Amino acid sequence: MFSLPNFISILRLPLALGFLDQSIAVRATVLILAMLSDGLDGYLARRYKSTSRLGTFLDPFADKFFVFFVLGVLLHEGRLLPWEALTMLCRDFSVMIFAVYLLWKGTFGQYQYRAIWCGKLMTTLQFAVLLCLTCNITIPPLTYFLFIAVGLMALVELYLQRTKLKMEN
């Protein structure tokens, strides 16, 4: 289903290419636009009741594509170490582990993925760190361990959400 929220999500894909520009101002603008679009698409979908299955796929896909692209650029430029980039993907690893768990339990097809609080926190942290790195602000190494903690909390939240949904049915 084509809708304004889905269109806004799709715009993050070509927006990522703007990060190839070497200008700090352009890169910061690209990151801020990506942050705003990430919040706006979800808000509009809920506000105007235009949520869709396509949108629940497009929004996180666009987010991940954008973040992976920016991480790749920063890794290539040597402004981010591989271990630092991996910590920023801990939520994604948790989602993969949870998907394996659902497959093992035989409930993958019935599970309806919903946004989780830890996911929103992780996205906010990712954008904040990426913006700081773009503006040449040094990130203390301990900050990256926060990504690990939020990633682990996401795994717990997904499990608890599944348990709650299972009890409601």
Give the position of tokens 């830890």. 118
- The DSSP annotation for 68-134 comes to HHHHHHHHHTTSS-HHHHHHTTHHHHHHHHHHHHHHHHT-TTT------HHHHHHHHHHHHHHHHHH
Identify the pLDDT of residue 127: 95
* Per-residue pLDDT reduced to its tens digit, 51-81: 877 888 888 899 999 999 999 999 999 999 9
Residue ranges of the domains in the chain? 1-78, 80-169
Identify the pLDDT of residue 3.
86
Pairwise CA distance, residues 134 & 83, whole Å: 18
Residue 92 CA, chain-centre distance (Å), reads 8
The DSSP call for residue 19 is G
Condensed to tens digits (0 to 9), the pLDDT of residues 125-167 reads 999 999 999 999 999 999 999 999 999 999 999 999 887 767 6
Cβ–Cβ contacts within 10 Å for residue 9, how many?
A: 25
- Does position 112 have pLDDT exceeding 80, yes or no? no
> φ, ψ for residue 48 (rounded to 5)?
-105, 15
User: Across residues 111-124, what is the average pLDDT?
Assistant: 87
pLDDT at res. 169: 61
> How many Cα atoms occupy the beta-carbon half-sphere of 23 within 13 Å?
7
Integer Cα distance of 16 and 69 in angstroms: 7
pLDDT for the residue numbered 80: 95
How much of the chain, in percent, has pLDDT values that exceed 70? 96
Cα–Cα distance between 157 and 86 in angstroms, integer?
Answer: 20
Indicate whether this model's pTM tops 0.85: yes
Quote the pLDDT of residue 33: 97
Contact 87, 34 (CB under 8 A): no
CB 30 within 8 A of CB 84: no
